[in-house]
Structure 1
């Protein structure tokens, strides 16, 4: 077997041996990683350091070693996706530490986990009383997940029979005074509507806004370049104009959403009236 073949053989053996050692060490040493991530991270770092200082070893051997420790993890990841048993072998399985409010001493012993370490893990989850815990599980990456007892869990709208709308991710609609029109249109709003919203919070126009974000409920967060132009300093006239612009934008949206011809004409007609009203008022609003 030539020198490169020996490096390849040693690399495969090294991965297997390191994975076995990591499993024997237990989950609590993993630091938010799975067994395999822990092994690969340490080994590639060591090889890279040796590549820098180990001048007596051929560069080709180092490069082959790096390739081995890159390709094999990719292949193993693919195998883990297809085989539950293989995934269990390389990553391990979660282990229940507390069940029905009772500590499972045997599980703690198997994970080499002390009661002190368990309490630390619970406090990191904002649980200071063991009596509050229904179930605690040590995950594959060494983290402890906690489920509180039912009577101590936070109350949700569903618990009180309240119907809530499904929220979507917030969208940024203004950056450095520039309107992100695509994000705005995907939520079904217009620039006129957005202008009305930012005027309510002190802006006179889009260039006054450093950052603005809208949520799925239509609430707009605005950060102005001039932070003194907050809501208390907004003139009443500007608020009136903003409300008219918002009403106009809503009417335009209604006309786009309806398939009723008469309703569409009515909405468009009122929108034009709002536009004319703004033009008529523009001179007085500047006073």
Structure 2
């Protein structure tokens, strides 16, 4: 038997031996990973370290070893997709830790989980009171999922039959003082409108803003480079400017939406007057 064949056999034996040992250790030691992902991560790291310092071993043997340990998880994943029994064998199964509000001590012992460790997992799921928990399950990857009792769940609009507008994902509209105009227009707002909003929150111009985000409801979060700009003593002037700028933006929007030509011209005229007013006030607002 040649040397590479020996490496192959040893690699296979080592893999399945470590898989068995990992199963014996329990799920709490492999959080966020499957058993074989856990052992492969450790083993490939060890092989790579040995490759660096073990100069007496052939390079080809190291390469074959790493290929074996890298390919086995891929092969196992494909088999798991086709076989439930094999998946149960390699990944294990979920374990119920709390059922109908009662802690199952035998299952805690089975997973080598102490009460303190259980409480840590429950608190991470925002469940501080055992009396509020209906079910807790340890998943195959070591995570614990919690379902609270119905009367302990937070009240939502759905429970009270309240219809609310469905929100979409928020968008970043200013980065390092640069306006992301595409993101802004996707929500139907103008650059002038955005300027009015950031003025309300203490900025003098777009260049004062490090980051700004807008949600689908039109609420704008603003983070300034110099947070002291948002001090109350300078905010009054900026608020006046913001209101004027927002009024101008609204007039522009009205002119675009109306089909009445007279109304369109009137809105555009007043919008230009607001623009002129802002230019005249600019000197005083900067003081």
**Short-chain TM bin:** 0.7 to 0.9
For the 8 Å contact 1:249–1:271, the answer to whether it is kept is: no
Going from structure 1 to structure 2, the CA distance change for 1:244 and 1:269 (only over 3 Å counts) comes to farther
For the 8 Å contact 2:255–2:265, the answer to whether it is kept is: no
- The whole-number CA distance in structure 2 between the counterparts of 1:132 and 1:191 is 49
- The whole-number CA distance in structure 2 between the counterparts of 1:80 and 1:131 is 38
- Once the 2 structures are TM-superposed, how far is the Cα of residue 200 of structure 1 from its aligned partner? 1.3
Counterpart of 2:269 in structure 1 is 273
Going from structure 1 to structure 2, the CA distance change for 1:80 and 1:253 (only over 3 Å counts) comes to farther
1:160 aligns with 2:160: yes
Contiguous gaps of at least 5 residues in structure 2: none
Counterpart of 1:36 in structure 2 is 36
Going from structure 1 to structure 2, the CA distance change for 1:253 and 1:62 (only over 3 Å counts) comes to farther
Matched ranges for 1:1-287 at <5 A: 1-230=1-230, 232-234=232-234, 236=236, 238-250=238-250, 252-253=252-253, 262=259, 265=261, 268-286=264-282, 287=284
> Which stretch shifts more, 194-203 or 69-78?
69-78
1:4-42 alpha-carbon deviations (Å, 9 max, x no partner): 222223222322222122112211221332212211111
* Alignment RMSD (CA, Å): 2.7
1:187-208 alpha-carbon deviations (Å, 9 max, x no partner): 2222121111111122222112
- The whole-number CA distance in structure 2 between the counterparts of 1:97 and 1:194 is 51
**TM-score between both structures, scaled by the size of structure 1:** 0.85
**TM-score between both structures, scaled by the size of structure 2:** 0.85
Aligned residue-pair number: 283
For the 8 Å contact 1:237–1:285, the answer to whether it is kept is: no
Going from structure 1 to structure 2, the CA distance change for 1:97 and 1:240 (only over 3 Å counts) comes to same
- The whole-number CA distance in structure 1 between the counterparts of 2:115 and 2:228 is 53
Contiguous gaps of at least 5 residues in structure 1: none
- Once the 2 structures are TM-superposed, how far is the Cα of residue 178 of structure 1 from its aligned partner? 0.9
